[in-house]
């Protein structure tokens, strides 16, 4: 979202946080702190949710639906217990009552209880703070090394698959940004969202990158073998 600027000091201020947030469950979205998420809100219950909070805390909890949600989507299908809450930093009200909003990710939260379930769920939550460890710079340097190696192995025809990420970010933000932008599997994303240990998150990101590199190396090797065989013939 180029050109999008916000006052982070104001947006991230949680001094008067009530501890209760509306939940917006989706089957294909896992949200992370310090990232931006555009949403098109069209369902009546979630349009009501935006209307209710736009002049209040402006906070929404984005939560992943568990498999099997299709059977009860119009009700309250099962959800994961760890979510990410974000604050609305941009809202566009459309003529027919729909909304285009942008959320800024604030904190991981654990859902303690549902205090209201209609027309949308309200949940009491506990903020989950990052747990730091020693030698985090070594993890960050390893991620930078692997990202550079990945980008270096891609030819011009695959530039769209480059990993474009600010590697100067602190490790906790770097791992979340990577998960948000470069991991497609929502269940793998959910695992990273649930991991509050920054070193353990980094280890998962490193493992993901190493697996990627192993796959692309194997593909490149196989391609070269085929080309060599063709040339010999």
Are the C-beta atoms of 46 and 61 separated by less than 8 Å?
Answer: no
Taking phi over 0 as left and psi of -120 to 50 as alpha, with beta for the rest, 78 belongs to: beta
For 168-218, the pLDDT digits (tens) are 999 999 999 999 999 999 999 999 999 999 999 999 999 999 998 998 777
- Judged against a pLDDT cut of 80, whether residue 97 lies above it is answered with yes
pLDDT at 74: 76
* pTM of the predicted protein model: 0.89
Rounded to whole angstroms, what are the CA distances from 42 to 29, 60, 76? 16, 15, 17
Are the C-beta atoms of 61 and 123 separated by less than 8 Å?
Answer: yes
Tokens (6 digits) for 231: 């040339």
For 141-168, the pLDDT digits (tens) are 999 999 999 988 877 777 788 899 998 9
Tokens (6 digits) for 168: 């100067």
């Amino acid at each position: 979202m180029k050109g999008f600027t916000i006052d982070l000091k104001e947006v991230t201020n949680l001094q008067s946080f009530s501890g209760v947030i509306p939940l917006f469950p989706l089957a294909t979205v896992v949200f992370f702190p310090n990232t931006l998420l555009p949403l098109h809100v069209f369902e009546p219950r979630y349009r009501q949710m935006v209307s209710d909070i736009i002049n209040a805390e402006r906070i929404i909890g984005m939560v992943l639906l568990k498999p099997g949600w299709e059977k009860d989507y119009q009700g309250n299908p099962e959800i994961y217990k760890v979510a990410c809450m974000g604050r609305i930093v941009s809202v566009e009200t459309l003529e027919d009552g729909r909304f285009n909003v942008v959320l800024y990710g604030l904190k991981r939260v654990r859902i303690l209880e549902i205090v209201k379930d209609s027309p949308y769920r309200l949940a009491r939550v506990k903020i989950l703070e990052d747990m730091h460890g020693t030698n985090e710079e070594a993890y960050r340097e390893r991620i930078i090394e692997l990202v550079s190696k990945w980008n270096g192995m891609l030819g011009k025809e695959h530039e769209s698959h480059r990993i474009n990420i600010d590697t100067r970010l602190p490790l906790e933000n770097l791992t979340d940004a990577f998960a948000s932008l470069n991991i497609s599997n929502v269940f793998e994303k959910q695992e990273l969202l649930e991991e509050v240990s920054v070193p353990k998150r980094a280890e998962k990101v490193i493992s993901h990158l190493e697996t990627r590199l192993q796959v692309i190396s194997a593909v490149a090797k196989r391609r070269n073998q085929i080309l060599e065989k063709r040339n010999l013939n």
